[in-house]
Chains A and B, each alone.
Chain A
Amino acid sequence: MEPKTIIKNLRALRVIQPDENFSARSRLVVLSCSPEIPGNFPTERGWYLVAVRHLQRIGLSLSFTVGVAVLILSIFYATRELSPLFLPGLNEKRVVAEAEMINSQIDIQLSQLEHFQETSQKGNQALQQAANTQLNHLNETVIEKEAENNTPNFSSSVLETNSKINQILESLSE
């Protein structure tokens, strides 16, 4: 066989064609796969495409993880930053000490209040007793002593004068 014939036969091999069903099936499978992203992805819309493709690949799991992370962070932020009890720069030890001091002051005032209440009760009782029994409650010896004190202590000159006054008064009346 001459080289020309060989070349002619080689060109005739061009009629070899793949099976149409295989081609269609293979095309579908190939195009359904995502292209790989190399490490040094270049310019243009590069990074946007990288992000989109990675998101497509990782898909639901990534979005779920991100969602959970955002939820946890927002709860943490809300409880810490937005709480009405939260004061930035709060010194907790100092607040506790102040609270203890206030507590002890309240305790002292309460004990004083109890004492005043007790005293007033006793005063009331005494007044009530006095009102009900008048002077009955007083001791006899005290009364006698007071009677003695109140009794006028007349001297002899006073008595003589008094008798003279009595006589004059009698003569006048006659």
Chain B
Amino acid sequence: MKDGREKIEEEKLVKRAIRGESSAFGLLYDRYQPAIFRFIYLKVGHREEAEDLTHQTFLSAWQNIESFRREGFSISSWFYRIARNKVIDYYRTKKSTLELNRILEETLTSDSTQQAESLSQKMELGLVRKAIQSLSTEQQDVLIMRFVEEMSYREISQVMEKNQGLIRVIQFRALRKIKKIIENGAKDNY
């Protein structure tokens, strides 16, 4: 959650970016690009494609920065909305042929998980990532935004254009489903 000062600072950056100051947009890019990349990566499960979609997201955002002022919500929510649409378009035009085993393998060998404490934790992370891929788009969005990015229900509802009550329902169902997928996956592995 952002405090008041950070929020005001961000609003100033957004205003400067709208006026066409690329340096201001550069600061917004630095602030939100890792989160947007994570969001996309966890949804598409492929690093190169996630990088490509992240790039497209920020390119669209910068080229259409003027239209942001009419939207009336936070810049991060706007970035997530663009990213969501990019992923939807990606799946529309290109059906994912990713094998779940490859995602698991990538998780285990990825630099990003080097900080994980043990092999078992890495295994668990891999299972969670694999399970995320099996969720519906909405369930993926809610789980990633809520638990990975720690966004508020209000922000999530802005991104998804749904009321907060419905977001909670989607979150509940997503957790229940992911639990089931992980349990089934664990049984299959043994």
Contacts and interface: CB of A to CB of B under 8 A. Distances in A.
B148 A35 contact: no
A136 B120 CA distance: 162
A152 B128 CA distance: 172
Contacts, number: 115
Given A10-B147, A17-B112, A35-B66, 20 more contacts: A1-B124, A3-B175, A7-B147, A10-B128, A10-B143, A12-B121, A12-B125, A13-B128, A15-B116, A16-B42, A18-B51, A22-B51, A26-B33, A26-B55, A27-B29, A30-B29, A31-B26, A35-B63, A38-B66, A41-B66
Contact of B69 (A9, A17, A23, A42): A42
Interface of A: 1-3, 5-7, 9-19, 22-23, 26-27, 29-31, 33-38, 41-42, 44-45, 49, 53
B151 interface: no
A41 B41 CA distance: 35
B20 A53 contact: yes
A10 B64 contact: no
The contact size tier of chain B is 35 or more
B33 A18 contact: yes
Nearest to B110: A16
Which of A6, A11, A27, A41: most chain B CB closer than 10 A? A6
B124 A18 contact: no
Contacts of A27: 26, 29-30, 33, 58
B30 to A, nearest CB: 8
B84 interface: no
Contacts of A18: 33-34, 37, 50-51, 54
Given A18-B37, A31-B22, A5 B124 contact: yes
Contact of B115 (A15, A33, A42, A44): A15
Contacts of B58: 26-27, 30
Contacts of A5: 124
Contacts of B65: 35
Interface string B32-69: 01100110011000010011001100110011111101
Given A18-B51, A30-B58, A6 B178 contact: yes
Contacts of A17: 34, 37-38, 112
21 contacts: A1-B127, A6-B178, A7-B175, A10-B147, A10-B148, A11-B150, A12-B116, A13-B129, A14-B148, A15-B113, A16-B37, A16-B42, A17-B34, A18-B54, A19-B51, A26-B55, A27-B33, A31-B22, A31-B26, A33-B59, A34-B20
A23 B33 CA distance: 8
Contacts of A53: 20
B54 A3 contact: no
A31 B25 contact: yes
B125 A13 contact: yes
Contact of A16 (B38, B147, B179): B38
A29 B59 contact: yes
Pairs of residues from A and B, 6 with the lowest C-beta to C-beta distance, nearest first = A10-B147, A18-B37, A16-B112, A9-B128, A26-B55, A31-B22
Nearest to B149: A14
A11 B125 CA distance: 10
B183 interface: yes
